[in-house]
């Protein structure tokens, strides 16, 4: 099974979420999929399980465009971050790895890619004792959790990810705050990170093109993720 790597795209939130979901819904989802993408302007995404009214209230001052993700987690502000998606089909061995273990592995991969440019990191430790459940996190980067990637001192979160697991496999949407790294060579980082994922999955990269049916089928999902029904009630039309 090759690691299918799709071309870089820059778009608005609903389009980015729709693209990830379109990839995840493919009937012939056999190989793992990776893509890196950007944002036309500063926007906010929030987790599948979060309350719309609460999120809207948090955004009143910033006034940014908001999109609900198909994955969990909390609020993430995009625009100056480095975002990626990784899809693991249910038949791939990596999809059977415990979620926290894979979460740790992918953040170690990001850490290795940063360390290659002399930016050391550390992982947020998990609590020794199981804490009382606090519910869904509010702001992802203000409320780090176990195995999030942190700066060397452990005082600031660098990277986090959210997952969605279905019968088809696992959809992972990750974000990296690159604003704190001066002189980071993003092209070099991208190539190193993809190589790390290859090693993690025991696969070789295969560069893909967007198929001819993408534009037509994708429009349907864009409409879904831009709808108030999805935004407010997490229901696709």
Condensed to tens digits (0 to 9), the pLDDT of residues 210-222 reads: 999 999 999 999 9
Whether 237 maps to a domain, the answer reads: no
Residue 235: per-residue pLDDT: 85
Q: What is the CA radius of gyration of the chain?
A: 17
- Is residue 69 pLDDT above 60, yes or no? yes
Crossing angle of the two packed helices 214-226 and 13-24, in degrees rounded to 10: 120
- The tokens describing 236, both together, are 């696709």
Res. 137 pLDDT band, cuts 50 70 90: low
Residue 209: per-residue pLDDT: 95
- Over residues 100-119, the pLDDT tens digits come to 999 999 999 999 999 999 99
Whether 80 maps to a domain, the answer reads: yes
Name the CA dihedral angle for 12, 17, 23, 26, rounded to a multiple of 10 degrees: -120
Residue 177: CATH number of its domain: 3.30.930.10
Residue 177: per-residue pLDDT: 95
- Is residue 71 pLDDT above 70, yes or no? yes
Average pLDDT along the chain: 91
User: SS3 of 119, please?
Assistant: coil
Res. 59 pLDDT band, cuts 50 70 90: confident
Contact 35, 210 (CB under 8 A): no
Report the distance separating Cα 230 and Cα 168, nearest Å: 21
User: SS3 of 3, please?
Assistant: strand
pTM, 2 dp: 0.92
CA 160 to mean position of chain CA atoms: 8
Whether 178 maps to a domain, the answer reads: yes
Whether 236 maps to a domain, the answer reads: no
Whether 99 maps to a domain, the answer reads: yes
Report the distance separating Cα 20 and Cα 149, nearest Å: 23
Q: How many Cβ atoms from other residues are within 10 Å of residue 17's Cβ?
A: 25
Whether 57 maps to a domain, the answer reads: yes
Residue 141: per-residue pLDDT: 61
Q: Is 231 left (phi over 0), alpha (psi -120 to 50) or beta?
A: alpha
Residue 132: per-residue pLDDT: 43
Residue 130: per-residue pLDDT: 47
Give the domain range for residue 170: 3-126+137-231
Whether 131 maps to a domain, the answer reads: no
Mean pLDDT of 155-175: 95
Please state, for a pLDDT cut of 90, what percent of the chain lies above it: 81
Structural domain count, the chain:
1
């Amino acid at each position: 099974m090759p690691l299918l790597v799709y071309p870089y795209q820059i778009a608005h939130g609903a389009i980015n979420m729709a693209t990830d979901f379109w990839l995840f819904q493919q009937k012939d989802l056999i190989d793992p999929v990776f893509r890196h993408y950007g944002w036309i302007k500063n926007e906010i995404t929030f987790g599948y399980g979060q309350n719309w009214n609460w999120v809207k209230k948090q955004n009143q001052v910033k006034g940014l465009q908001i999109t609900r993700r198909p994955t969990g987690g909390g609020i993430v502000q995009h625009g100056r971050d480095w975002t990626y998606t990784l899809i693991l089909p249910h038949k791939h061995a990596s999809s059977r790895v415990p979620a926290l273990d894979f979460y740790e592995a992918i953040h170690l991969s990001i850490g290795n890619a940063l360390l290659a440019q002399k930016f050391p990191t550390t992982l947020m430790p998990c609590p020794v004792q199981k804490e009382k459940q606090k519910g869904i996190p509010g702001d992802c980067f203000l409320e780090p959790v176990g195995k999030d990637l942190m700066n060397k001192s452990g005082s600031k979160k660098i990277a986090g990810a959210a997952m969605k697991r279905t019968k088809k496999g696992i959809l992972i949407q990750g974000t990296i705050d690159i604003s704190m790294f001066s002189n980071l060579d993003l092209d070099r980082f991208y190539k190193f990170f993809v190589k790390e994922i290859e090693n993690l999955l025991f696969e070789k990269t295969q560069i893909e093109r967007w198929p001819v049916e993408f534009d037509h089928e994708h429009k349907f999902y864009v409409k879904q993720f831009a709808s108030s029904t999805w935004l407010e009630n997490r229901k696709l039309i």
